[in-house]
Amino acid sequence: MFEDDFNDGLDDLWEQTLGKWQVANRQLTTVGNCEWATLTLGDFDWSNYAVEVDCHTPLLYSNMGIYVRQQEDGSDMGFFYQSGSYYIPRFLRKEGGNFMSVAKASQRGGFHSPDAKVRLEVRGNESVAYINGSEYVSTFDSTFSSGRVALTMQCSANTFDNFKVTALD
């Protein structure tokens, strides 16, 4: 469906919907210090897919997220996590500008290393998040059955790399 390693800059298919983004050292990051930024991709009709991305969060408590099922009105479902051990990774749903926790992991972040490979699988009403190959949280939510993908972060020290969206049967 789509793949970007950011080695040749930012692909023209990305839409900068919040904040400013740049490619530095062949990795995707934001411009600015601690402002939220969001980068969107794909089609509102995307339904069953997996999103994989390498995430680097060198600062403790750095916020990052991957939206799935993003809607035209800005509503969506997303997986959010923070480096360090205190934050519990979770799926959040946003409707009408309000966030609601849909499912939390049974364990805290657990990835004390600043590097994590995150994989989200969304199929029908099911969403599953994996960090470094281990399942962290899953949920069944029928609010959105399709939607775009977006990356979001709150700190310019964070980076994304090796982004890939693949179709699931």
pLDDT digits over 111-169, tens only? Answer: 556 788 999 999 988 999 998 898 888 999 889 999 999 998 876 678 899 999 999 98
Q: Quote the pLDDT of residue 60.
A: 63
User: Which candidate, 47, 49, 2, places its Cα nearest to that of 142?
Assistant: 47
- Give yes or no for residue 15 having a pLDDT over 90: yes
Residue 33 banded pLDDT, cuts 50, 70, 90:
low
Under 8 Å CB-to-CB from 157, ≥6 apart: which residues?
Answer: 29, 57, 58, 59, 62
Q: Could you give the percent of the chain with pLDDT greater than 70?
A: 88
Looking at residue 96, which CATH number applies to its domain? 2.60.120.560
Structural domain boundaries, residue 45: 2-167
pTM for this model (two decimals): 0.89
User: How many domains in the chain?
Assistant: 1
CA-based R_g, the chain, Å: 15
Looking at residues 68-72, what average pLDDT do you find?
A: 91
Average pLDDT, the chain: 85
Residues 6+ away with beta carbon under 8 Å from 113: none
Q: What local confidence, expressed as pLDDT, does residue 23 receive? A: 93
